[in-house]
Every structure is written in structure tokens, then in C-alpha cells.
Amino acid sequence: MQLDLYNHPHFSIENIPFGVFKIDGQNPRVGIAIGEYVLDLGCWSSRFLSPEENTLFNRPSLNRFVSQGKDYTGKVRLNIQDWLVKTEKEIDQYRSFFYSQKEVQMCLPFHIGDYTDFYSSKEHAINVGRMFRGSEKALLPNWLHMPVAYHGRSSSILISGMPIRRPTGQVSPVNNAKPLVKPSEKLDFEIEMGFVVGKDSKHGKRIPIVEAEEYIFGLVMVNDWSARDIQKWEYVPLGPFLGKNFATSISPWVVTMEALKPFRIKGPEQIPKPLKYLQSKGEYHYNIEIDVSIITNGIETTISRTNTKYLYWNIHQQLAHHTINGCNVRVGDLMASGTISGKEKDSYGSMLELSWNGKNPILLNDGSHRSFLHDHDRVVFSGLAVSDEYSIGFGNIDTFIEPPLEI
């Protein structure tokens, strides 16, 4: 039977996303997703590229390949597309280059040195502010002037398919008693989109808005898990710690900026006008829909459908702000958008908002209710950008929640 590579909503020939995979007993290596398959770029490059180039793909991360620069990575991507088009009718003779996505194990695509999490959705910031500070103080004074962020933990970034364990930590005291150490009762997901840095910058130098795209290789979906009750007790005065650092899940395929170019759109009007170093003109936002489902007892319920177009601060502004003080970035660094929420309830990007901190539990299709996530729930994100001609997808982030460890 001939390989069917050319009709897939997520991994179309217009996409060509890069990732890292392995087969049992073999070392991880670089591939691309096409249709239901993974093209082994180690095999492909041994036939069509030089021996020096071939070494870029027999590696456990994309870092070395991406560090060759956008001119090179863009050329390789186009060469793969051209080869797939030209060999479509004869593709079966290259069957040994391909593996079914079901038979491979996906790995983290990059060695991630540093991880930064922004807070770039105005709707999300207002929702959270209203819950905890009231409508008049929903947005803090700095929010409309810069993309607020904190540094996360790169060691606990996990690939889709890896389970997470319910975290344990201190939660706030009740009736002025001592704080308790217990498993989180408010485990939550956060719908985010992250970008992967594709070029080193020099320490002491900033990256201007007009140069930001040179430093961004591509995007991945991000689920930046939160333990809301642990975070509430610990975050003053230094911000998130144990309530966030236990796990962050990402999608395995990195979708390039070149593939996403047709889906660029203008973002929301920014009032007041940002400071000069943050001013961006043109189409710097993206029209990418992300759906979230919870699977319970084998039954799936879609509980949110949001879109990256709702973000207030775009990725170019995020990178420009991150480096305005001379902070350098390195190939493989991950920067996430923060929770993405729209104006309507069904576009909210977290359980905290969807249930309004537990006041309005969500009815699932198996008849159960959720204010926050339960043990044995499965949470699935799916991201897709759609045009009249074709679609570009990110695949899924699929995560199972395991019970906590005994204290």
C-alpha cells in the first residue's frame, strides 16, 4: 500500500514542522511530520545532503541544526517540500525513510536552557484581577505598559504524552491556623503558545522589534500547569514558585515562522501607546485556534476554544522587552505567551476562569462536574491554523494526571 502523506489537516505539505523522535533501542534523531508519518531526516539527508550536513540530523535535539541560521533551515525546509512534491508518485520506494507517528516516541525538540512565561492576554489578566482584586483594580498599573513575565523552570518541561503528577505543597491557613502541606485541590491547565529562540544574542545587547523575527525559529503549544491554591499562598512577594515549576507540557512539533506567515494578522489596538522600543506596526499576531478537551471515563468534552489572536502583547514585543536590559538569549530558549483567553466564556484559557474559581462547575459529557482537574483526568490541547487553501497544525498536547505522591 502506498504511503499517504498528502492529506492531513495538521501536517500538510505546507507545514513541514521539525521535531525529535526515537524508535525503541535507537538514539533520538531529527524528523519532520508529514501526514500520519515522520520523515527521518537522518536517512533523507544521507541521500540528498553532504556528510557534514547529515550530522545535523543524527542528534537528540534541533539546537545544532537551528543554530545554522534561518537561511539554511529555510532552504532545507523548502528542499524537503520540493522533494515530497516531485516524488509523490514514487514515494513508496522511500518507505524506509518513514515511520508511522504511532510507532515512534517523541522527545523534547530542543535542549531548553531557559524558560520565560509571559502574561500577555488582557482578557485573562482582567478575569484574574476581577476575581482577586475587584473590577476597579483588575489590571495592575504596569500591565498596559509592558509584557509582564517571570522565569520558569526548564528542567520540568515535558513533551506531550508524558503524565504529570498532582503536586503537593503548602496551602494557605484556614481561620488563622498554621499552613498545611497537602496535595493541590486546584490543579489547573493554562492554554499558551510558546516561541523557540533560533539565534544567540550577545550579552549586553538588546534585540529591537525590527530584528526580533531573526531570533524566532518557530512556535509550539504550551500547557503551563498551575496549582492555584499553592500559588495563592506563596506568590507574594516574589511570584510563582512551587505552584508552577512542577510541570510545563509542550507539543512535540515546532512549526516554523515561514509556515505560519499566511496566518499573520494585526493585533488589538494598544492603548495607551507603548513606549518606543515596544511599538510594532504591521501583522505580528497569529490566527491559530486552540481547543481544549477533558477526557473522563473514555468520554471527551471540549470545554474551551480560544485563539492566539486574542493576545495583547505579541512575540516580537515579548522578545524586545526581555532583552531591553541586555539579557542575552540562546538557541533553544522557550518563551510562552501566558494564558490565552478571549472575551467569551467558552474562550477562557484556564479552569480558574471557566469555573470562576469553583463557583460555576463545568458539566462534562460523562455527567460529572469539574471546578478544577481531578486525578486520572486526561487533558488534550489541539492547535490549528486554517485558511481557504490549507491548514497548518501543531498536533496535540495530551497529558494524563496521576495521583500525588504520599507525603
**What whole-number distance in Å separates Cα of residue 231 and Cα of residue 389?**
44
According to DSSP, the residues that pair with 13 across neighbouring strands are none
For residues 206-236, one letter each, b for 16 or more C-beta atoms within 10 angstroms of the residue's C-beta and e for the rest, the string is: bbebeebeebbbbbbbbbbbbbbbbbebbee
Look up 145 and say whether it is catalytic.
Answer: no
Q: Which of 10, 111, 124, 322 is catalytic?
A: 124
Q: Give the other-Cβ count within 10 Å of 284's Cβ.
A: 19
Q: For residue 28, say if its preceding peptide bond is cis, omega within 30 degrees of 0.
A: no
Grid cell in block for residue 256: 516554523
Q: Is the dihedral of CA 362, 184, 343, 336 positive or negative?
A: negative
Helix (H, G, I), strand (E, B) or coil at 294: strand
**What whole-number distance in Å separates Cα of residue 309 and Cα of residue 266?**
8
Strand-strand pairing, 264-265 and 285-286: antiparallel
In single-letter form, the type of residue at position 58 comes to: N
Q: Quick one: 96 exposed, middle or buried, by C-beta within 10 A (0-12, 13-18, 19+)? A: exposed
Q: Are 20 and 254 in contact (CB under 8 A)?
A: no
**What whole-number distance in Å separates Cα of residue 98 and Cα of residue 33?**
10
Q: Are 160 and 395 in contact (CB under 8 A)?
A: yes
* Residues tagged active-site: 124
